[in-house]
Amino acid sequence: MKHITFGANQQASVIAAGTMRIAGMDEKTADTFVRSALDAGVNFFDHADIYGGGKSEEVFGGLLQKDASLRKQMLIQSKCGIRSGYFDFSREHIIRSVDGSLKRLQTDYLDCLLLHRPDALMEPEEVQQAFETLHKAGKVLSFGVSNMNPMQMQLLKTGVTFPIAANQVQMSIAHTPMLDAAFNVNMSIAPAINRDGGVLEYCRMNDIAVQAWSPLQYGFFEGTFLGSEKYPELNRQLEALAEKYRMQKDTIAYAWLLRYPAKMQVITGTTNPDRLRSAARAADVTLTREEWYALYRAAGNKLP
């Protein structure tokens, strides 16, 4: 497993285990999920206070309570800021959300806290107050954002002195608007529309980890491109590379993301131990430049 230096100078696996779907798991199944991830070299677990209405964190916390040694083997990240019908980056809500996550997770601290989607009413100075309070109390070691563009991160930095450790954004072979605009500069076609202000480049320039969520999905939760009749050429290319590298198709799809030369992390959504192990193997694959571009084109993208 490859690692990146993350947050408070910690070593985080480039494959991270997303926990959104563990809310309904029984203890035995959840324990198998966590231990399978750790055995595969995955030490980073991504949570959010809204996953399962908090139940995902509760299930995970039950495992930590039963076996305290697990906590020392992992980095735990959670997110806050999404409320029913609106976003909330107020000092009070951030602090209250973290306290709730810590209680559900049955741990004393988070390795990282992300602000979950942008809040248009964000006051950077108020966010700083919340971060200072949490950091001084030892409740959060590092901070980041999700789904923010460069100007939103710049605005946040006018009041927040903590480095932005990560930006969690949607990215997959079949969801590439962050790449499309960069290929089609100064062209009057739809892919040339700059929808995010150069977020990938900004993260690279500022040493911010890019955490790719929905790495096997197309659209906004429309489904997986693996085996989809909407992506026949992409699946043919994935099958050919899977055979070449003696991996699974999903492994190649994750490897495609890791090949991008930013500080990359892939947030998996699977709870299947075999698929977790398959995902972890992506860290051992380095696609060639030709293979990377071939997969990009196979997804229906055209280069100018």
Please report, for the chain, the start and end positions of each structural domain, with discontinuous segments joined by +. 3-298
CB count in 10 Å sphere of residue 110: 25
Q: Please say if 51 is a catalytic residue.
A: yes
Given the residues 51, 202, 218, 231, select the one marked as catalytic: 51
The reported pLDDT for the residue numbered 300 is: 96
pLDDT at 220: 85
Quote the tokens at residue 242: 């899977």
**In this predicted model, what pLDDT tens digit does every residue of 19-77 receive, in sequence order?**
999 999 999 999 999 999 999 999 999 999 999 999 999 999 999 999 999 999 999 99
Is residue 81 pLDDT above 90, yes or no? yes
Q: Give me the pLDDT at residue 240, please.
A: 98
List the structure tokens of 154. Answer: 């710049």
The token pair at 198 is: 């150069």
Over 90: is that where the pLDDT of 237 sits?
yes
Distance CA 98, CA 234 (A): 41
What percent of the chain has pLDDT above 70? 100
Rounded to an integer, the average pLDDT of 83-102 is: 98
Strand 82-83 to 217-218 pairing: unpaired
Superfamily of domain 3-298: NADP-dependent oxidoreductase domain (3.20.20.100)
> Which residues neighbour 130 within 8 Å (Cβ) at sequence distance 6 or greater?
90, 91, 94, 95
Residue 133 in contact with residue 99, Cβ under 8 Å? no
